[in-house]
Amino acid sequence: MEVIKMKLKELKAEIEQVRDEVRLKAHLGRTEAADELEKLEKEWKSLKKKYKPLADEAEKTAENTVAALEIAADELKEGFDRIRKLF
């Protein structure tokens, strides 16, 4: 009986250790994701401010405007994808 109790105690300790590690990684991941999201939100707001003037000038310089917006949009999408992969 003592051997069984010891094995169960060891199993419980192993599970608790793994659980604690996973909880810590999840917490750190959430913090990292929140930081990344905050950075991306600032970039999103900046892009939205630039959108109207760029769209107004699109007729004059359509290729440059579209290229600039595509680059900014791609960077934002990549950032959001990085966050998505954390979960």
Tens digit of each residue's pLDDT, the chain (87 residues): 788 888 888 888 999 898 888 889 888 888 888 888 898 899 888 888 888 777 777 666 767 777 788 888 888 888 888 887 777
| pTM check: above 0.85 | no
Phi first, then psi, for residue 47 (nearest 5°) are -65, -40
Provide the token pair at 14: 């192993």
Q: What residues contact 72, with CB distance under 8 A and at least 6 apart? A: 43, 47, 50
